[in-house]
Amino acid sequence: MSELSRNEGASADASNAPLLRIERLALSLPEGADRLYAVDNINYELNAGEILCVVGESGSGKSMTANAVMGLLPQGVNVAQGRALFHGQDVLALSEIEHRELRGQRIGMIFQEPMTALNPLMRVGEQIAEVFEAHGLLTSKARRERALALLEEVRLPDPQAALRAYPFELSGGQRQRVMIAMALALEPELLIADEPTTALDVTTQAQILHLVKDLQTRRGMAVMFITHDFGVVAEIADRVCVMRMGKIVEMGEARDVLERPQHDYTRALIEAIPGDAVPPTRDAGDTKPLLSVSGLDKVYRSSGGWFQPKREVVALDGIEFSLGRGETLGIVGESGSGKSTLGRCIVGLNTPDSGEISLNGVDLRALEGRELREHRQRIQMVFQDPYASLNPRIKVGMAIAQGPIANGVPKARALEQARELLATVGLDASAAERFPHEFSGGQRQRIGIARALALDPELIVADEAVSALDVSIQAQVLALLDRLKQELELSLLFITHDLRVAAQICDRLIVMQKGRIVEHGSAREIFLSPQHAYTRELLEAIPGRQDRRETAPAAVGAI
Amino acid sequence: MNFFKRFAQNRGALVGLIILALVVLLALLAPFLYPDSPWRMVQRPFLAPGEIAGFPLGTDTMGRDVAAGLAHGAWVSLLIGLISTVVALAIGVPLGALAGYFGGKIDDALMRFTEFFQTIPNFALAIVLVAILEPSTVSIVLAIAIVSWPPVARLVRGEFLSIKHREYVEAARLVGQTHRDIIIKQILPNTLSPVIVLASLMVATAILLESSLSFLGLGDPDTMSWGYMIGAARTVMRQAWWLSVIPGVAILLTVLALNLVGEGLDDALNPQLARAR
């Protein structure tokens, strides 16, 4: 086997050797998994000073190779064959102690979730110093100085203060910067970044991508950047490696792959990104407003303890808008902008401090008891997390039928309706007899939509309904929502942080920042001529946008 | 499903289950193996185990058959352990559920009430209760239940606090389900696994409590129990050590078995945690 691989790699050996070379690597999954190998016979190389993006959807095995190189394979996953040569040395054959030398010192890693990757009980400075301590380097004073220098290098606003801060005192983007500082501490030659921007807002994501690119150029590192987002690829990659079901389907220079994708799957992935984002003009629905909201205020107050001052966070500040029948209104903003609070106030999960929410001209805030319940049913919600939004112990059919049952529909009929609804959202009617854990994320989201439809609502509030899904699934769910909206004459309030998604489905947009509406208008207007500085910032932060503007705009109608 | 398979992966739990099955069998067969009252004097006192055929565990200070006492005592111990646990759950689960679900003032009131019971030492309260109510099986069950429900309430409250903000619960609120339906159908089934584990451990604690009460002479005077046997034999510990040790080992094995089973249930009900070990 090694004979073979040597022959294959011979051509590359002639020039300068790559920093990392994966040869014929296969990782076996434990028995009972959906396939035999997590990655199956893959080969790729990473040269010094190069950014390689490994792209794939969840379950494609894109992170597994990186984990194998770091010696962090989960239990049950084993190396079945192949080598991973780092400077010509097979890292898969190293002992745990030898691996530890490699980790941190020569290969650094950044993880997806900056909150859980940092120890919540340790100050940031100590955590960075710990990296040197673990490898027995420097004196404690020198460690502090290096930590400060690193925080300056990753451009934290106040490095001195950040050194003494606990992770919870920093924002998501700042935490990710700290993670990068830690990964860079020992000046690794290779940085592995596993979806480092997925949990971040668009503008923060753009900053972090910029930072990674900048550090890579300055230090001449190699970066393996694992992502599911082709927008990110366009932003930073030198080369791309597209993975699907454990196999590499396409590999090449970033520009080539983006502009002339060879494989159907790559093409589908690139098309699934609603990238260049000029929404088509849509009919401006019925002019009679279904929902109108005015003067909505909401302030979150934490009561404060003996030594803590009271804290007030303004979530909503004088929100005013209306939504026509059959219209899709997008509410866009970053985390903390109050967009979710707004959605929750409208469906009635939160109570606003003041203001008016009226549906069909009836003020919901003035209603009580049974009347309120009846009106509330006209507004239903699709939730963000497909894994948390279905009760694991209730069968799918029952989960959909429980709304009608609670409102007096006989059980047998409600269950019959549930089966019909499952068919409407594109699932088999037999799904009703199964439990939620038997379904994938996209299927669960369809079930969530069916549940929202069960009460025959007029308005559906979708709170980040597709942000937890893979791009290709996202497109399917969005298409489903769009179809249902037209067939059932629904109005849709679509809350999202992702302007690309908003562009795909919304007629009108509202841009929120810090609890206020900073801009509103038709989706097309906002994308073509944003008025507010914040909207422009949001639009510019969309990864891959500029790149795609240069090339010919693809048709968006293809959803 | 493969629930039992996951349970059986924990060897200790399997051993615990076997021991427990044997104890239950012994309890069930007691009336057939020893149809006579275990209080009857059948031989001369202080027979060592095996000294005379037909009395494998010997006789006690009054000449009663130790083996018969052990068999009948198993019945009493298990019954009191089970019933008092059921009663404790019947108090603790609803209180915890209401406190966790509604929060605010209701939570405050119910939790202060719970803490009132938690601040008094368990055993002291149990002794006082039995002494006031006069020792009988019912009063012992009540006393044990009253001292052991607070942890149930706190556990259930905690589970409710975390689950009530899940999206599926919010979805149930949006479709107009009543509070009662949400508590019973949506949240409660998802809190059951830790409660089942806790309950199996509570049975063990209840058996210990009952034995301790009987040891102090606060047991039901009409029923033979393991605790009573140890209590009665403690004055003759030097002459006939086996009279204390035999029922002592019985208690030890039963409580150990219940704990092992509880741990096995924990593994089987939380497969993610079990695999991580």
How many residues in chain A?
559
What tens digit of pLDDT does each residue of B22-40 get?
999 999 998 888 888 888 8
Q: How far is B99 from chain A (nearest CA, A)?
A: 20
Q: For residues A219 and A332, state if they share a domain.
A: no
CB contact under 8 A, B171 and A383: yes
**What is the number of domains present in chain A?**
2
User: What does DSSP assign to residue A103?
Assistant: B
CB atoms within 10 A of CB B136: 15
SS3 assignment, position A386: coil
Q: Residue B139 and residue B130: Cα distance in Å, rounded?
A: 6
- Is the CA virtual torsion A297, A302, A308, A310 positive or negative? positive
CB contact under 8 A, B167 and A349: no
From residue A544, alpha-carbon distances to A55, A458, A495, B198 in Å are 14, 36, 22, 54
pLDDT over 60 at B223, yes or no: yes
Contact residues, chain A, for B169 at CB < 8 Å: 391
What tens digit of pLDDT does each residue of A201-225 get?
778 888 888 888 888 888 888 999 9
pLDDT over 80 at B73, yes or no: yes
Buried (b) or exposed (e) across A226-240, using 16+ Cβ within 10 A? bbbbbbbbbbbbbbb
Asked if A298 and A365 touch (Cβ cutoff 8 Å), the reply is: no
Strand-pairing partners, residue B59, are B65
User: What does DSSP assign to residue A438?
Assistant: G
Q: For residues A389 and A518, state if they share a domain.
A: yes
What is the complex's ipTM, to 2 decimals?
0.76
From residue B136, alpha-carbon distances to B91, B131, B224 in Å are 21, 10, 12
CB atoms within 10 A of CB B196: 15
Per-residue confidence at A558, pLDDT binned at 50, 70, 90?
very low
Q: Map chain B to HEC letters.
A: CCHHHHHHHCHHHHHHHHHHHHHHHHHHHHHHHCCCCCCCECCCCCCCCCCCCCCCCCECCCCEEHHHHHHHHHHHHHHHHHHHHHHHHHHHHHHHHHHHHHCHHHHHHHHHHHHHHHHCCHHHHHHHHHHHHCCCHHHHHHHHHHHHHHHHHHHHHHHHHHHCCCHHHHHHHHCCCCHHHHHHHHHHHHHHHHHHHHHHHHHHHHHHHHHHHHHCCCCCCCCCCHHHHHHHHHHHCCCCCHHHHHHHHHHHHHHHHHHHHHHHHHHHHCHHHHHHC
Higher pLDDT, A371 or B112: B112
Higher pLDDT, B231 or A14: B231
CB atoms within 10 A of CB A412: 9
Distance of alpha carbon B138 from the chain centroid: 15
CB atoms within 10 A of CB A8: 12
Answer yes or no: is A190 within a domain.
yes
pLDDT over 80 at A136, yes or no: no
Answer yes or no: is A435 within a domain.
yes
From residue A23, alpha-carbon distances to A32, A520, B98 in Å are 26, 53, 59
* Predicted local confidence at residue A74, as pLDDT: 79
**What is the number of domains present in chain B?**
1
Higher pLDDT, B75 or A197: B75
CB atoms within 10 A of CB B25: 11
Q: Tokens representing B84?
A: 């008092």
Contact residues, chain B, for A465 at CB < 8 Å: none
Answer yes or no: is A375 within a domain.
yes
Q: For residues A239 and A330, state if they share a domain.
A: no
Answer yes or no: is A13 within a domain.
no
Q: For residues A535 and A460, state if they share a domain.
A: yes
Per-residue confidence at B100, pLDDT binned at 50, 70, 90?
very high
CB contact under 8 A, A402 and B172: yes
What does pLDDT average to over chain A?
A: 81
From residue B25, alpha-carbon distances to A296, B29, B32 in Å are 68, 6, 11
Question: What is the chain B residue with the closest CA to A391?
Answer: B168
Asked if B130 and B218 touch (Cβ cutoff 8 Å), the reply is: yes
Q: For residues A261 and A338, state if they share a domain.
A: no
Please list the alpha-helical segments (H only) found in A237-285: 254-259, 264-272
What tens digit of pLDDT does each residue of A374-411 get?
777 888 999 888 888 888 888 899 999 988 998 888 99
What tens digit of pLDDT does each residue of A477-493 get?
888 888 888 888 889 99
State mean pLDDT over B138-143.
Answer: 92
Surface-to-core class of residue B118, CB atoms within 10 Å of its CB (0-12 exposed, 13-18 middle, 19+ buried) = middle
Question: What is the chain B residue with the closest CA to A345?
Answer: B174
Quick check: B170 contacting A, CB < 8 Å?
yes
Q: For residues A264 and A383, state if they share a domain.
A: no
Among residues A243, A271, A299, the one where a domain terminates is: A271
CB contact under 8 A, B174 and A399: no
Quick check: B171 contacting A, CB < 8 Å?
yes
The domain of B14 spans: 3-276
Answer yes or no: is A144 within a domain.
no
Optimal mutation site among A351, A389, A391, interface B, most CBs of chain B within 10 A:
A391
Answer yes or no: is A225 within a domain.
yes
* Residues 398-427, chain A, touching B (beta carbon < 8 A): 399, 402-404, 406-407
State mean pLDDT over A5-18.
Answer: 48
Per-residue confidence at B147, pLDDT binned at 50, 70, 90?
very high
State mean pLDDT over A489-509.
Answer: 86
CB contact under 8 A, A389 and B171: yes
Q: Residue A460 and residue A425: Cα distance in Å, rounded?
A: 15
Selecting from A373, A384, A389 the residue whose C-beta is nearest the C-beta of B176 gives: A373
Per-residue confidence at A227, pLDDT binned at 50, 70, 90?
confident
Selecting from B167, B173, B185 the residue whose C-beta is nearest the C-beta of A385 gives: B167
Answer yes or no: is A224 within a domain.
yes
Residue of B109, B107, B118 whose CA lies nearest to B156: B107
Per-residue confidence at A277, pLDDT binned at 50, 70, 90?
low
Identify the CATH number of the domain in which residue A331 sits: 3.40.50.300
Q: Residue A501 and residue A148: Cα distance in Å, rounded?
A: 39
Q: Alpha-carbon dihedral of residues A455, A460, A464, A470, nearest 10 degrees?
A: 70
Among residues A248, A271, A294, the one where a domain terminates is: A271
Per-residue confidence at A556, pLDDT binned at 50, 70, 90?
very low
* Predicted local confidence at residue A422, as pLDDT: 92
* Predicted local confidence at residue B275, as pLDDT: 46
Residue of A227, A228, A235, A224 whose CA lies nearest to A258: A235
Question: Token pair 């890292």 is at which residue?
Answer: A91
Q: Tokens representing A488?
A: 């059932």
- Helix (H) / strand (E) containing A409: none
Q: For residues A421 and A536, state if they share a domain.
A: yes
What tens digit of pLDDT does each residue of A80-93 get?
888 888 888 888 88
CB contact under 8 A, B178 and A406: yes
Q: Residue A209 and residue A206: Cα distance in Å, rounded?
A: 5
Q: Residue A342 and residue A350: Cα distance in Å, rounded?
A: 9
pLDDT over 60 at A267, yes or no: yes
Among residues A225, A251, A271, the one where a domain terminates is: A271
Identify the CATH number of the domain in which residue B163 sits: 1.10.3720.10
The domain of A473 spans: 325-351+366-550
Global pTM?
Answer: 0.77
Answer yes or no: is A265 within a domain.
yes
* Predicted local confidence at residue A254, as pLDDT: 84
